[in-house]
Amino acid sequence: MAASMSKFKAELRKYKRRNAVAHEVNFLNITAMMDMMTIILVFLLKSLSASSANMPQTNDLALPTSILQGEAAQDGIQVVVSREHVLINGNELKGIEVPGCFTNPADAPKPHENYKLVFCPGDSPHGFAPKFKARGTPSDLEIAPLLAAVENPVKVEEANAKAKNKPGGVEAMILFDRYTSFRVMTEVMYTLGQAKISRFHFIAMQASK
């Protein structure tokens, strides 16, 4: 009886080995899938929020139009100069006053109105006020609050570029209102250059054909 039982067990083991099948997953892990979808959603929201193509136009910011075609830059420090405000990566520079292109602010066209040719004053008295300049003179080009505001973002961009081994220096995406004077543009770009920003991308609306 003992010999028969051992033989039976041996045959049973052989049968199991012959009919063994590989283990396969026949169920879904909902928790892991939810984690994966959450990560993808956060990544997409972050990408869209940082996209330069999603810049809103407000009552004091109407982008110029351009006949050139090309993809908007996606990397760099975002600098917005509207008719009333200056923003760095969405953070407004408090207390700074943007020189107007119009003697009477009521003459400024609204963003939804058609563009009209305007000759903005370009001499130094129509730049940023001396109290915002590094040397306190109207002819100075360096805007002290702007230089201080971009100092930390420049360090962050330099660290990111070094981590990614990306050459070319720090970049900036600049949004000027279409009626910004040449003098104001010059002072802003000079100040950004002093902050070690070496490449500029100007954001504009594509003109209709």
**Where are the domains positioned within the chain?**
2-48, 60-206
Look at the pTM and tell me if it is higher than 0.85: no
54-71 residue pLDDT tens: 555 555 666 665 544 555
Contact 200, 75 (CB under 8 A): no
What is the average per-residue pLDDT within 41-61? Answer: 58
pLDDT of residue 145: 95
More confident residue, 208 or 76: 76
- Beta carbons within 10 angstroms of residue 44's beta carbon: 10
Q: What percent of the chain has pLDDT over 70?
A: 72
pLDDT(174) > 60: yes
**E-strand spans in the chain?**
65-66, 77-81, 86-88, 91-92, 170-176, 197-202, 205-206
